[in-house]
Chains A and B, each alone.
Chain A
Amino acid sequence: MIDRLATNARVVAALGRRSVIQTLRRPQLAAPLILFPTALLAIQTAGAGRAINLPQFPPVNNFLSFMLAGAIVQSVMMTGNSGAIAFAIDIEMGFTDRLFAAPISRYAVVLGRLAATAVLGAIIAVYFILLGLIFGASFNEGLAAAVWIIVLVAASALAFGSIGAAIALRTNSASVVQGIFPLVFVILFLSDAFFPANLMLDPAGWIAQYNPLSFIVNGIREPIIAGWSLTTQLKAVAAVIGVGAFGLTLCRFALIGRVRRGV
């Protein structure tokens, strides 16, 4: 049992490393995943910055501190989608079949891809934390906040990435996975990634209150703009676990389906 776990861990690490290197070796494809959210962060912070003067806006030092969490999550979700597209391309090319035909766990193959997404998510979190510090965001809970945010973001990346991976496994098509890219923004807009839910127009504002992404965003945002709250952080963790469980279950069914359909 322990041997098998150790083997699977090695497989996950090896495949994860391959995927991370694959991403970093193509900066022309990877850069937009960070540059685009950075540009939007800069523009939205300066364009809608006076929103902090609205009554009912949470007390913050500046709009950047509020928006940072949204930018992180946006970047992570785009990266997750990009990872899912790369996974789908691996499937289309037959690389994944080669792995599935090897004496390794199929779940380890999928987890390897997701591990890479988690690592990239952590890198993105570090980038935006540094960016925020340079441009005046203040972290109320200091270094502990930064570390916690990195962990939470990496876990979220894995969780949302699992949904993309499930779609890739089910459809075997990179263009289908690419087609769901606009949905990433729909989910973001229907959360309080960019604005407090209580100040959003309905029905989006109402949906945002129950969107699991909102809990995750608030978990990331809270240590930046306010102090820790166990309730908020537990909700964030629960949301990550919920989304991850959902995505991994979809992956499981997709893997079973592959063998049944002979695809």
Chain B
Amino acid sequence: MIGRLRTGWRTWTAMVLALVRRALNEIFRVPGAAIPGILAPAIFFLGLTSVFGSLTLLPGFDTHSYQSFLIPVSMLQGAGFTGAATGVNLARDIEQGWFDRLLAAPAPRPVLLAGLVLSASLRSLLPATFLLAVGFAVGVHWPGLLGLLLALFLVMGMAVVAATWGTSLAFRFRTQSAAPLMQIGMLLAVLTTTAYAPQNLLTGWLQTVAKYNPVTQVVDAARQGFVGDVTWANTWPGLVTLIGLAALLSFFALRGMHRMTT
């Protein structure tokens, strides 16, 4: 009945999809648990635009709509928290012994990681979509189809980066107490960019940090359609950043997974 146990791309894809399905269970089976994560980015977006909205009156601010300026940041923040939550859930699974079950199975380690990370990128679409609905309702500019798809794609990419960050920390610390570190890391990564104002209007240390923070490229790329036109020149740095960060953090995550058995 069983025959030889299969390997190969099709089998690994089936393994990844099975793990994604399991990770998405929480949203469909305990929707109450997912609601805060979906609502939070929208609450912060509305709050911050209400508070800092008149910054657009400053000379050098290249848009009059702070909502349009800020919404990509809120979307990326949401992706960051979703990814961090993946790390927290993994830490819980490790603490409770569930992850041992996966480690003892013959599924390759990169496949296990891919399952975790892909589920985060899909989950990130939920808060992003809700946020966009709220944003358009309060006057965010329509970014065009290209701008919209680009922003969502970058959100998914950011969720992958955040998930690899969260899982690296989960393998390192193996406890849910590391949750604040997972969350604050992503928060700082997104906010120490041109999150609140364009580069020329930032002051002090933030002006320097934002210049060199690679996530600034992602923020600027996601923002394009909402404040102007989408160009390849402003897009490719963000894509390269996400690919690079995801690759680097995946290396640390896989190393951490390997170290769980040493």
Q: Measuring CB to CB, which residues of chain A are less than 8 angstroms from any residue of chain B?
A: 28-29, 31-32, 35-36, 39-40, 42-51, 53-54, 63, 179, 182, 185-186, 188-190, 194-195, 199-201, 204-205
* Among candidates A42, A49, A182, A189, residue contacting B51 with C-beta atoms closer than 8 Å: A189
Q: Which residue of A lies closest to B52 (CB)?
A: A48
The reply to whether A43 and B48 form a contact with Cβ atoms under 8 Å apart is no
> What is the 8 Å Cβ interface bit string for chain B, positions 217-240, against chain A (1 contact, 0 not)?
000000000000000000000000
The reply to whether A47 and B47 form a contact with Cβ atoms under 8 Å apart is no
Docked Cα-Cα span, A185 to B39, in Å, equals 12
* Among candidates A28, A44, A45, A189, residue contacting B47 with C-beta atoms closer than 8 Å: A189
Chain B, interface SS category: helix
Determine how close the nearest CB of chain B comes to the CB of A172; give it in whole angstroms. 17
Would you mind naming 8 contact pairs between A and B with Cβ atoms under 8 Å apart?
A: A39-B184, A45-B204, A46-B202, A46-B204, A47-B195, A54-B57, A195-B51, A195-B52
Docked Cα-Cα span, A182 to B50, in Å, equals 16
The reply to whether B53 and A43 form a contact with Cβ atoms under 8 Å apart is no
* Among candidates A31, A44, A53, residue contacting B196 with C-beta atoms closer than 8 Å: A44
How many chain B residues touch A (Cβ–Cβ < 8 Å)? 35
Which residues in chain B, 175-192, are within 8 Å of chain A measured between CB atoms? 177-178, 180, 184, 187-188, 191-192
The reply to whether A50 and B184 form a contact with Cβ atoms under 8 Å apart is no
Docked Cα-Cα span, A240 to B75, in Å, equals 36
* Among candidates B47, B53, B54, B207, residue contacting A188 with C-beta atoms closer than 8 Å: B47
Residues of B contacting A36 in the complex (Cβ-Cβ under 8 angstroms): 180, 184, 187
Residues of B contacting A190 in the complex (Cβ-Cβ under 8 angstroms): 47, 50
* Among candidates B43, B58, B205, residue contacting A185 with C-beta atoms closer than 8 Å: B43
The reply to whether A46 and B180 form a contact with Cβ atoms under 8 Å apart is no
Residues of B contacting A42 in the complex (Cβ-Cβ under 8 angstroms): 205-206
B55 within 8 A of A: yes
The reply to whether B54 and A46 form a contact with Cβ atoms under 8 Å apart is no
Docked Cα-Cα span, A15 to B188, in Å, equals 36
